[in-house]
Amino acid sequence: MAEKTYRDAIREAMMEEMDRDTNVLIMGEDIGVYEGTFRITAGMLKKYGPRRVIDTPIAEAGMAGTAVGMAMLGLRPIVEMMTMNFAIVAADQILNHAAKVRYFSGGQVDVPMVIRGPQGAGVQLSAQHSQTFETFYGHFPGLAVVTPATPADAKGMLKTAIRGKDPVIFLESAALYGMKGEVPDDLDFTVPFGQSRVAREGSDVTIVSYGRMLQVSLIAAEKLSNDEGIEAEVIDLRSIRPLDLQPSYASVAKTHRAVVVQEQWKPFGAAAEIAASITEEMFDDLDAPVARVTGEDVPMPYARNLELLATPHEPQIIAAVKKVMYHD
């Protein structure tokens, strides 16, 4: 294995798949000549040329709709959204077309496309650029929704997405781009969707999370262990659709307490679905109600001090753990 940043793992996955399959191409705003706002496509135009690295107009609906047509005809387009917030403009193409072509065709037509880009807070991009979209896209059948929390998963799950037969919403945490971690060098390294993992073992409480909040949860778990003697088991969901809660259920059977952590606003969030599922499935094993840790219910402020107040951090997770453990 080699140590790579989250950003480089994503770039490497795309380039390896473009080398492997000439049907793979990438399109997006400023991805070619400018080499991407977050530099993920650096060097790709020079290597692959303008037929496979396509600089588009500022037209997200056009990008997504074009990609649907390409995918239906056998290409494997990757659409980079400068930020996933801009994909709202393409909602009709994504939700009413990409997600439904297989259903409308009676399973006869594949739509192998990936829509990927950064989301979330932590980089002072204010209210229109700092939202998270796993609940928004996770609501719709026909889409896979992926939320990698490590460089290895970012690479392995993106390769799975590119090689698949159906549309994938690949949600990258902008605040994780500089994070480093070990990534397998194997050209065929992939990570399947719908397989959660135990990111940290523990016996006292279960913390369930994904994406950037998984990293925050791991830090909180270490602080709980060092300062309180509380051993938290941390579950990384990895994908929101398909959603694998079996490791979470097994963990709750052991710990009897659960905290679910998300970055997005509390009302109607992914944490609500996860908490409800744990309650329905594991009610007799729970010694306390499932707690949720979420972002504040406000548009994201630009000012750094207010952005920090609006997003979840270790103290909120620690407080929620203490609450479900009836620990002062």
129 belongs to the catalytic site: yes
**Torsions phi, psi of 85, nearest 5?**
-60, -35
Which among 235, 214, 240 is positioned nearest to 145, based on CA atoms? 240
Dist. CA 176–CA 319, nearest whole Å? 24
Cα(160)–Cα(105) distance, integer angstroms: 23
Residue 242: asked if its preceding bond is cis (omega within 30°), the reply is yes
Global pTM? 0.96
Write out the two tokens for 109.
């037509």
Question: What's the length of the chain?
Answer: 328
Average pLDDT, the chain: 97
Active-site option among 29, 60, 134, 233: 60
Residues 306/310/313/316 CA torsion (nearest 10 deg): 120
Given the DSSP bridges, would you call strands 205-209 and 180-183 parallel, antiparallel or unpaired? Answer: unpaired
**Given pLDDT bands bounded at 50, 70 and 90, which one contains residue 125?**
very high
* pLDDT tens digits along 183-225: 999 999 999 999 999 999 999 999 999 999 999 999 999 999 9
Say which of 12, 16, 17, 129 is annotated catalytic: 129
Share of the chain above pLDDT 70, in %: 100
Q: Which domains does the chain have, with CATH numbers?
A: 2-183 (3.40.50.970), 197-324 (3.40.50.920)
Distances (CA, A) of 216 to 202, 229, 314: 16, 18, 6
Tell me what pLDDT residue 216 has: 98
pLDDT of residue 35: 92
61 exposure class (CB count in 10 Å sphere: 0-12, 13-18, 19+): middle
**What's the CA gap between 260 and 249, in Å, rounded?**
13
Is 17 known to be catalytic? Answer: no
Across residues 298-314, what is the average pLDDT?
Answer: 96
Q: Could you read off the pLDDT of 262-287 as tens digits, one per residue?
A: 999 999 999 999 999 999 999 999 99
